[in-house]
Amino acid sequence: MNAAFEAPEVAWAPMVPILLVLGAGVIGILVEAFAPRTARRPVQLGLALVAIAGALVSIAALWTDVRVDGGIEVLGGSLLVDGPTLALQGIVVLVGLVALLVLADRTDAGEDAFAPSAAAVPGSDYEELARRKGLAQTEAFPLVLFALGGMMIFPAAGDLLTLFIALEVLSLPLYLLSGMARRRRLLSQEAGMKYFLLGAFASAFFLFGAALVYGYAGSVRLADIAVAAATPSSLDPLLLTGAVLLLVGLLFKVGAVPFHSWTPDVYQGAPTAVTGFMAACTKIAAFGAMLRIVYVVLPPLEWDLMPLLWGVAVITMIVGTVVAIVQTDVKRMLAYSSIAHAGFVLVGVVALTQSGISSVLFYLLAYGLATVGAFAVVSLVREVNTAQGGAVVAEATHVSQWSGLGRRHPLLAGAFALFLLSFAGIPLTGGFTGKFAVFSAAVEGDLAWLAVVGVVASAAAVFFYVRLIVLMFFTEPEGTPGAATTVVRSEGFTAVAIGLGVVGTVVLGVLPSPALEMFADAAVFLP
């Protein structure tokens, strides 16, 4: 007797934000295949902007229902759309929208951030021919959309398989984008290769951990694993080993020590617009997934695994701060700064309180906007070779090249100084409120000593942020013979992104209460 087929019921509405972004990515591939070359860039840019803006609107539309109902399980629990999910999706989409403006911008000479033909051998005749013909690598837009779609799924995953698939969907486009820089091609390709190889190791650790946890719990669903973890068993070492390997994969994505070695090289070699997108959005998504793992799955293992995470948070804050002090490249300095910030966010993660969740959400929003804004500024500051008739040769990333920038371009330097002060945690900036929130959550979670370490690390980090501000506003330029520093003119998208970053940083510092209250209401995970 054949049983009648019953069509599964799928709640489509909670998946609309993800479907909009991933669907636009698929359409973007078709545009690359069939649209005329001259029409590809405006079509791709318009498609990406509409999709991301539509996702942001749909997330806002879902917010009220989720607050009332507490959330919904989608696709049999593979996706969990609850308060933290929507908050994290909203943050990553908002920051991704700002980052897309930087990615899409072109200089007044018509150059974007990407090589005219990424597959060409650096320095080859084919690459020079592609440059002269003005080819554009518009494949970057669907790659960004796919990465953003993976980042939206990552914090919503309700089982380990979905979590792994989302990890790969967000990672693979970033590996490609990191190696597509227009200038310093070899450095960019080296960055992409390093990111790919180390990312493959991290994915392998995560997948091995998932297999061990499945062997213990007999299920890949996070809720079932949490129930199994609460039951004492002779196989506890299997569970602990699997949980540690899962955390290794996530700690790699956030750039925490000792899994941080890829961060400075990739941040330095990737196109600066991609670096800003990757530094902000990947961290937001990865910490979102980590919050769900730590708060849903690991509470029964608190005394086994929390000391490990405490240690990671401490060494991440210390290493990121100390090594950033000795950097002479602006992008590497910001890379080690991001490592230190990963440690600060971990302070909120390990608090294991509801305020820990809300403080992490707020911190990620403030950090994401400031990070995209800071790298947007870096993308505009270029080195000019006066011996070649004033030709722009590369980005001016050595700190000495920023001397006197504040006198020549006060608005741009002022915006960068604001972002640096936010990173340092100076009052009346979003960074200060974020650090205050995570440190307060740590004190509430009986981890006052960890908050003290964070405060000391923050105080030490002020040195290298203020050093760059002093160089910009109070130091005479020391350009090398035949070279100078300038700020290139562009279509204006980067200026808009910097403006949005400035507004967000100031508003979150001066009027943080609405955002804090909203995230406090959202800080409840589905079991």
**Over 60: is that where the pLDDT of 483 sits?**
no
Mean pLDDT of 492-498: 91
pLDDT in tens, 149-172: 999 999 999 899 999 999 999 999
343 DSSP 8-state letter? H
Closest of 250, 274, 288 to residue 92, by C-alpha: 288
Q: Which residue has the higher pLDDT, 250 or 65?
A: 250
485 phi and psi, to 5 degrees?
A: -115, 140
Q: Mean pLDDT highest for which of 91-105, 172-186, 294-308? A: 91-105
Q: Among residues of the chain, what percentage have pLDDT more than 90?
A: 52
Give CA separation, 135 vs 38, 43, 113, 349, 439, in Å: 9, 16, 12, 45, 49
Indicate the domain borders of the chain: 13-522
Report residue 389's pLDDT band, with 50, 70 and 90 as the boundaries. Answer: low
Q: Mean pLDDT highest for which of 60-74, 319-333, 472-486? A: 319-333
Q: Return the number of other C-beta atoms located less than 10 Å from residue 54's C-beta.
A: 16
Q: Are 195 and 266 in contact (CB under 8 A)?
A: yes
107 DSSP 8-state letter? B
Q: Which of 74-83, 164-173, 176-185, 470-479 has the lowest mean pLDDT?
A: 470-479
**What pLDDT, on the 0 to 100 scale, is given for residue 482?**
45
pLDDT in tens, 361-374: 999 999 999 999 99
Residue 325 structure tokens: 């002090």
**What pLDDT, on the 0 to 100 scale, is given for residue 424?**
92
**CA separation for the pair 147, 282 (Å, rounded):** 9
**Over 70: is that where the pLDDT of 388 sits?**
no
**E strand map for 272-364:** none
**What pLDDT, on the 0 to 100 scale, is given for residue 492?**
85
Report residue 3's pLDDT band, with 50, 70 and 90 as the boundaries. Answer: low
Q: What radius of gyration do the chain's Cα atoms show?
A: 23
Q: Which residues, at least 6 apart from 264, have a Cβ–Cβ distance to it below 8 Å?
A: 332, 335, 336
pLDDT in tens, 247-266: 999 999 998 988 888 889 99
pLDDT averaged over every residue in the chain: 87
Q: Return the number of other C-beta atoms located less than 10 Å from residue 463's C-beta.
A: 12
